[in-house]
Amino acid sequence: MRPPVEVSVLIVSLLAPGVLYTINNIPALQEPLPILGLGMFILGFVLLLLRLTVSNQTKVDPLFYVFAEFSFTCMVGLTNALEQDGFISGFMGFYLKKGEPHLSTAYAVMMSYWDGIVHFILFLNIIHRMFRGKSYRSLGLLWAGSSIANQIVHIPGVVIGKYGSNIRPGFWRNVPFFLAPFWAASVLFSRPREMPVVTADKISAEQKKGLLFRPIDLLLSLMLLGAMAFSVFRGFVVLDCPLDTCFTYIYQYEPYLKDPVVFPRVMMLVYLFYAMPLMAFFTYGLRTPGCSWMLDSTIFFAGAMAQSQWCHIGASQHSRTPYTYRVPADKWWPVITLNVLLAALPALLALRCHANPVYFMKPVPEGQTNKEKKKN
């Protein structure tokens, strides 16, 4: 009798530390080009193992291979984080020297923890639901947002930062891991979502309420406006705005924004040009009835902001960040509080949309009951 698919994926993923330890002790495999070739071979071999684990299945969702393959790399990331923080040793030395030296930075360590813990748990839950015929669409969108946010900061940060002059062939293994989340997100967004059917009268009554009569939505709208202003301000800060306020902030509150690894600078620009417009759309969606796109996009955005803020907050405090770039002790509480709120706001917005989606639904014919389901 075969074990459940998620157990098989777990077993395959746990092979990652052993593979790293073996390569770390074979000098012939520790040159830049062999590292890239061996890495691609290992990923291909893992894919073959995963194919064998589902060979008895008549139909397999193609997204399974994405989630399962990423599960293996999650264990590579966790191994890296644990080694950089001194909990283990003898696994990643070769790769940091000849593969991706930037993985020793504070940002990369926090990114690796997120991959190895949060993403890995998400993958096992998604695969569990996938093979039991349950919906995993929301969990998938949460991961897609998180992973895309990770890659659009990680890859440009390496190329234009202090490690840009030391890019090795192993870095290019990130290309498929950059493209796969975009493809997965497009697949998930195109699939129909399940929603409870609510009577037209109830939908109409809810959607007639103005923003002032929906205090939670009003509060979320105000918080979104504040987050937009904060994102614009920090965008100006990293663009070297000459205003005294910007100068004071970057030197006295968040000096991490000028860290030469440039991951925080890239992140603030992503917030300015991508997150801020999305928050403007969400503000519109909270005051305009029937914006059903809010239900998916808020989950995607919550995943993106949670990952980004985890890495940003963690790296700004991490011992691998030079002391001069860490948050000053006397400004710790206001800076961390603002950053935590920026991570929590999208999650609260997504919870609000899914706890009571009536305001965002299209009217349906009367006579249908709340127990029925429809594809929206």
Same domain, 278 and 314: yes
Domain identity same for 48 and 179: yes
Domain that holds residue 82: 5-190
**Which of 190, 217, 239 is where one domain is finished?**
190
CB atoms < 10 A from the CB of 290, how many? 14
Residues 175 and 297 in one domain: no
The answer to whether residue 376 sits within a structural domain is no
282 is a domain residue: yes
Question: Quick check: is 271 in a domain?
Answer: yes
Position 373 in a domain:
no
Let me know whether 212 and 327 are in one domain.
yes
**Residue 206: Cβ-neighbour burial (10 angstroms; 0-12, 13-18, 19+):** middle
The last residue of one of the domains, among 156, 190, 224, is: 190
Please report whether residue 353 resides in a domain.
Answer: yes
How do the pLDDT tens digits run along the chain, 376 residues long?
678 899 999 999 999 999 999 999 988 888 888 888 998 999 999 999 999 988 888 789 999 999 999 999 999 999 999 999 999 999 999 999 999 999 999 999 999 999 999 999 999 999 999 999 899 999 999 999 999 999 999 999 999 988 888 899 989 889 999 999 999 999 999 998 887 778 888 888 888 899 999 999 999 999 999 999 999 999 999 999 999 999 999 999 999 999 999 999 999 999 999 999 999 999 999 999 999 999 999 999 999 999 999 999 999 999 999 999 999 999 999 999 999 999 999 999 999 999 999 999 876 555 544 444 444 4
Q: What residues form DSSP beta bridges with 194?
A: 375
Burial of residue 376 (number of CB atoms within 10 Å: 0-12, 13-18, 19+): middle
pLDDT one-digit tens code per residue, 303-340:
999 999 999 999 999 999 999 999 999 999 999 999 99
Same domain, 20 and 138: yes
> What share of the chain has pLDDT > 90, as a percent?
78
Residues 64 and 100 in one domain: yes
Same domain, 158 and 132: yes
Task: Please indicate, yes or no, whether residues 217 and 165 belong to a single structural domain of this protein.
Answer: no
- Is 36 a member of any domain? yes
Domain count across the chain = 2
The whole-number pLDDT of residue 165 equals 84
Last residue of a domain, one of 140, 164, 190: 190
Angle at 284 between CA 190 and CA 236, to 5 degrees: 100
